[in-house]
Structure 1
Amino acid sequence: MDNYVSRARGYFIPPYSGNYSFMVKADDGASLYLSNSENPNDKTKIAFVKSNTKSYSKYPEQKSQRIDLTANNKYYLEILHRENSGEAFAKVAAHLYNTKLTNESIPAAKQENQKISVSSSIVREKQTITLSGFSTRTSVDEVQVVDLTENSGGFSDATFRLGLDKVYTTLLTTSTSETDIGNALLQLPCLPFLGISNSDRLPLKPTELVMYLILQYKTYPGSNGETLGISVT
């Protein structure tokens, strides 16, 4: 028989509480209605198909939104079927999302496959330090004073060395000139690193040496056992 419309009515009684989706397929078209109770007057259209298909997923409108149902309650269900010619059928399926059943226990059950993709990017933190509340002043070089004392009370051939960061000059005596002491200090490897060169520090006075690090020293007794007293302030 061709060119007719049929209606099938009944109740859907969910075996489990949870979210369900309903799907419909037909030849040649169908509309699916569901009520939120067993009362037919509360029915609403939840899915439909306009043309012949044997698949439940050919068109997005064939599948309803998720509907929360309670186990063992009656819900009025109705399908309105339209047939033009040829083969005729109308079928409905229900999908329970939070079921504990798997395809190992029931072959008809389909397990959902989910893919999780994670990506990240590194953003380096930038911090800004703002200093305020102080007045601008002219910079002042640090002055270190070296005092030598001959403990013998007279001439002594005792010697000493000055150093920075455990690196020392050649042997110096109490008679070494200011210029020679300055040149000896300028040979220390850390002074060029600190920006001190011959052009801006010569001549250096041995009693007023301009430094950025604390001066170190070593003393050596003279031929007759004389010693030098030395201090850096």
Structure 2
Amino acid sequence: MTKLTFCMTRTLAAIGLAVAASSSHALVLAGPGDFQGTGLGAVNTILTLNSPANSTTETGTVSWSGSAATTTGDVPNGASQFGTPTLGSLGVTSPSSLRIVFNPNEPANASSLTLTDLSLRIFGPSGGNALFTSNPFTALPLDATDRGIGNAGFVFQLTADEIARASSAFGSANNRIGLSATINNVQGGPDTFFAVNFAAGGGGGTGNEGGGGNAVPEPSTVAIFGLGLAALGFMRRRNKG
């Protein structure tokens, strides 16, 4: 192996390790979804956010106290604005079948927003500390023109690593779902999040999920695979030379 080839291989390995270390093992975008008839009260709404006056940021949390759903932040108190449904009520028996749908409802002049935090939490029947909390979320710009209550949304799922880590928290049908979220560059709302049992064909409406429900590969896996191909191509060209 030449010195240059050795240096290239070592550099690519270092980059691969850095990518693996920095990748987010959390909720990831599975694709856009077209959900009809999914307004408030028609689906399992978990969290609704409204922008405070003169603010372009919405943030809020819904948790289970052991007796009721409790909220913090920019969450309206109206009927069907938030909830902590049980896994049993959703028919969800595995974290691999759970989807969280983000349905923005922004003004016509809004072009984009950024979902800066989205964290899934699973609570036991008695509340208290969450049995499972998804790892940190990577900020994601989204097209705010794909909007309107009950019309369309962005579908999120857990990565393979998170599914494995969350499995024990999905062992009881009485455990409950909670969420926390932060959205930037918003101009109103309401912007809602609801739960879908993908194994049951979308649940709560006639949903079609982008990507057909295929597993989303880890960002580190995709990056390292690409780096490996680049290294092989470089070495092949040098050997031919």
TM-score interval, smaller chain: 0.3 to 0.5
User: TM-score, length-normalised on structure 1?
Assistant: 0.34
Q: Which has the higher contact order (CA 8 A, sep 6+)?
A: 2
Where is the helix percentage greater, Structure 1 or Structure 2?
2
User: TM-score, length-normalised on structure 2?
Assistant: 0.33
